[in-house]
Structure 1
């Protein structure tokens, strides 16, 4: 089965996950960093068409292959789109050897108890059925922790695992992402609380069930090693979270068993105006650096 092959790749293979899942709120910023100003589009449809072009350019680049990029997280509209006549997820797996994931969250609630929970995900069951039909392997959903508040962190993890169970029941692999804001003064304390909450919820998973975890790079090196070693965790991946690519790579390389799942740090240095040769060279250098940091980890 394809899914068992994908699962083996996500569990064992060296490499990292590319996060190509910027959604409505973050798309204008992603396009601007790519050299496309807001004046270049006049509607949401035009904006999403431009971001799809950017993602397709990345995916079709010779450097973007399963040799080093083992997975990619897509936005819903990207999943629904095509590359060279193939649905995006099928193109990733069949042509590039890259396991496709889907971002399923619909943004964040207002802060309470130092955290931002996910907004209720409208139509999640239907979206998960569509994802299965489109040969998606797993999903990703993000919450944010802005303070070392035990009640808030427990609420974030409980919500993530509750929705994660729904995703597992649909036959997909959930990437649980309780992001710790890297700018907060009590980041290390928040991460210690998060670790304990994650361990409790992992212990409560039924035998044979696994999830993936996407976490901010920790202040204390190898803090999350118990999660890497847990039989309930398929893979622990790290977000760049606002660190520069060089800083993120340096931190990642020190954390044993954790691989990258970078978004902005992946596209740093890429520009709409670059020739294909320059674009491919810049992307290849980026992928090499993130791959090496993930492999050292």
Structure 2
């Protein structure tokens, strides 16, 4: 059964979800942006140790708490790691922040305008372990590059199929069919995506819900029917490569969507900062994203 206390925080809480789940090929880029160069680590273990150090610094900073941040998405190694001597999901829950886990294993090569998720080996075992550590939900990403109705249909079907497996494990799935912001036909494709998602939402059992993580749409409120659907707990937005300023401005135009930003949250944080400087920069980012998610920058 899904944890109802955390369910209420995500459904009704004012704030946004931090995405702290870079993995694999995206990790070196994230470290360089943070001020850790490639010659400061050697091999995957040292690389992941460096990114864990960064994430631990974030989640233990004074400004990172449930007043503004209602959830955080973790990479598997982060979930399994410690911060201040405690499991990271415990640290988050103690601060009023609901923990999620990234469960996908990367993307297939593009076909029919989309990149499907690779098979997720051992998913049931991973879900059971996450549940035991106090994780509330999961996130899994696939990518849409063009407005192919068949490709988008396949992406959405796969997301809902795996989402059902996650629901059966007592966790809340965030379905993330990301639409590339570089796509020239995104406005057209986002309508196809919305309508395809609606078909699957209308087939859910009564009382069943999922979450959605989507690119901020070209046309504001394209996804409002998803926000309003009883089968959707919350719709969150990825920054998709936009700067924080641009992402917040665009997000604020979409009623009911809240942020789930990664790069836009972390872009001004540096390893070389003092703890006070680090927390001040993080607080500024959190406040700006919070306002875009809740106050709509009015």
Matched, 1:73 2:73: yes
Q: Map of 1:1-297 to 2, 5 A cutoff?
A: 3-94=3-94, 96-297=95-296
What is the CA deviation profile of residues 238-268 of structure 1, one whole-angstrom value per residue up to 9, with x for unaligned ones? 0000011000000011100000000010101
1:43 Cα deviation from its structure 2 partner:
1.6
1:85 Cα deviation from its structure 2 partner:
1.6
TM-score scaled to structure 1, two decimals? Answer: 0.98
Runs of 4+ in 1 over 6 A off after TM superposition: none
How many angstroms apart in 1 are the aligned matches of 2:183 and 2:269? 29
For residue 177 of structure 2, give the secondary structure of its aligned residue in structure 1.
strand
Q: RMSD value over aligned CA atoms?
A: 1.0
How many angstroms apart in 1 are the aligned matches of 2:264 and 2:64? 15
How many angstroms apart in 2 are the aligned matches of 1:70 and 1:218? 23
What is the CA deviation profile of residues 49-95 of structure 1, one whole-angstrom value per residue up to 9, with x for unaligned ones? 1100000101111110000000000000000001112111011001x
1:170 Cα deviation from its structure 2 partner:
0.2
For residue 107 of structure 1, give the secondary structure of its aligned residue in structure 2.
coil
How many angstroms apart in 1 are the aligned matches of 2:179 and 2:292? 21
What is the CA deviation profile of residues 245-297 of structure 1, one whole-angstrom value per residue up to 9, with x for unaligned ones? 00000001110000000001010111001111111111000000000000035
Structure 2, gaps ≥5 residues long: none
8 A contact 1:256–1:296 mirrored in 2: no
How many angstroms apart in 2 are the aligned matches of 1:207 and 1:2? 15
1:149 Cα deviation from its structure 2 partner:
0.2
How many angstroms apart in 1 are the aligned matches of 2:150 and 2:39? 44
How many angstroms apart in 1 are the aligned matches of 2:258 and 2:87? 27
Structure 1, gaps ≥5 residues long: none
For residue 262 of structure 1, give the secondary structure of its aligned residue in structure 2.
coil
For residue 93 of structure 2, give the secondary structure of its aligned residue in structure 1.
helix
TM-score scaled to structure 2, two decimals? Answer: 0.98
How many angstroms apart in 1 are the aligned matches of 2:24 and 2:241? 19
What is the CA deviation profile of residues 84-114 of structure 1, one whole-angstrom value per residue up to 9, with x for unaligned ones? 12111011001x1100000000000000000
How many angstroms apart in 1 are the aligned matches of 2:3 and 2:102? 18
8 A contact 2:174–2:210 mirrored in 1: yes
1:26 Cα deviation from its structure 2 partner:
0.6
